[in-house]
């Protein structure tokens, strides 16, 4: 019985110390963007709703076309931080859906944020005009 009481006290203390993060959104849709305009960015805002500081340890993108930046100093209770996602549309016409996996020091789980959209070109050429790829080059058959 004493063991159970002790376990409950430890669990309650641990739950009080655990920080809780609330994100402004978990998915951001860029909509239609143009390859020629270069990289686009979006800031995900997170709020520490817990009672202990939280430090973002890492943000890992699902591919090399997405570059993350984030608040490096501890986020105090009641304060906000950002995770900035930059997507480079160069040589990537068509739809995209990418993820960023966020790891923090005070949570036992990771969080996943998403960016999505569609890359178009201003010159009227699109993914379907050049369906084959060779490195960064898009090709079509002579008879097309």
Domain spans in the chain, listed from the N-terminal domain onward: 39-130
* 118, two tokens: 């569609």
Mean pLDDT of 116-142: 70
Per-residue pLDDT, 133: 61
pLDDT at 1: 55
Q: Residue 99 above 70 pLDDT?
A: yes
**Partners of 40 in the β-ladder:** 87
Q: What are phi and psi of 47, to 5 degrees?
A: -120, 135
**Percent above pLDDT 90 for the chain:** 64
Pairing of strands 94-104, 21-23: unpaired
- Tokens representing 39? 């990289």
Q: Report if pTM > 0.85.
A: no
pLDDT digits (tens, 9 = 90+) for 32-44: 999 999 999 999 9
Q: Which residue has the higher pLDDT, 1 or 95?
A: 95
**Range 78-86 average pLDDT:** 98
* Residue 96 near residue 119 (C-beta atoms within 8 A): yes
Convert 43-60 to b/e letters by CB count within 10 Å (16 or more is b).
ebebbbebeeebbbeebe
Instruction: Please report the sign of the dihedral spanned by the C-alpha atoms of residue 127, residue 128, residue 129, residue 132.
Output: positive
Domain 39-130: assigned CATH number: 2.60.40.10
């Amino acid at each position: 019985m004493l063991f159970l009481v002790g376990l409950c006290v430890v669990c309650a203390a641990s739950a009080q110390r655990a920080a809780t993060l609330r994100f402004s959104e978990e998915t951001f849709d860029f909509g239609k963007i143009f390859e020629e305009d270069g990289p686009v960015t979006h800031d995900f805002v997170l709020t520490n709703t817990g009672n202990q500081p939280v430090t973002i340890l890492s943000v890992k993108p699902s591919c090399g076309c997405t570059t993350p930046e984030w608040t490096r100093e501890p986020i105090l209770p009641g304060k906000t931080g950002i995770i900035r996602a930059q997507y480079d549309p160069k040589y990537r016409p068509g739809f995209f859906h990418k993820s960023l996996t966020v790891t923090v020091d005070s949570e036992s789980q990771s969080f996943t944020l998403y960016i999505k959209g569609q890359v178009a070109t201003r010159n009227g050429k699109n993914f379907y005009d050049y369906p084959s790829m060779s490195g960064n080059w898009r090709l079509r058959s002579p008879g097309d």
